[in-house]
């Protein structure tokens, strides 16, 4: 994939879906996605539903050189309801995933995380 830049050069990017839209009620993480050693990721977190008493969702972007040992790159702001947020992060290793922490009383969040690596 990719797109032409204003200066005429081609920007080589790969689209990624780190978490397809689904409801979650507990902590978890996505499967690692290989990025072909691209160094930057631009992501969109889109929360389309939230319920429970004082629900909170924290989504952390993680990277790994071997799809086994993970380190945090950055995180989205804590979400308490329907919202969206963009995040750009450098320092991406070979693999990329998201981890989420859910808290509150009977919390449920429906969300997806997608974007591109460059």
Nearest CA-CA partner of 78 in 38, 105, 50: 50
pTM, two decimal places: 0.90
7 pLDDT exceeds 90? no
**Residue 39 confidence class, pLDDT cut points 50, 70, 90:** confident
Calpha distance 26→55 (Å, rounded): 11
Average pLDDT over residues 84-106: 96
Calpha distance 112→84 (Å, rounded): 10
- Would you list the domain boundaries of the chain? 14-117
Q: Which residues contact 68 (CB under 8 A, 6 or more apart)?
A: none
Average pLDDT over residues 43-59: 98
Mean pLDDT of the chain: 92
- The answer to whether domain 14-117 has CATH 2.60.120.1110 is yes
pLDDT tens for residues 81-92? Answer: 999 999 999 999
């Amino acid at each position: 994939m990719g797109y032409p830049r204003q200066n005429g050069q081609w920007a080589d990017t790969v689209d990624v879906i780190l978490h397809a839209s689904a409801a979650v009620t507990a902590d978890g993480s996505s499967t690692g996605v290989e990025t072909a050693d691209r160094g930057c990721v631009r992501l969109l977190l889109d929360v389309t539903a939230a319920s429970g008493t004082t629900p909170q969702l924290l989504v952390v972007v993680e990277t790994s050189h071997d799809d086994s040992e993970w380190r945090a790159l950055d995180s989205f702001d804590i979400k308490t309801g329907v919202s969206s947020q963009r995040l750009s992060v450098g320092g991406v290793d070979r693999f990329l995933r998201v981890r989420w922490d859910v808290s509150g009383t009977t919390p449920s969040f429906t969300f997806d995380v997608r974007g591109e690596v460059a």
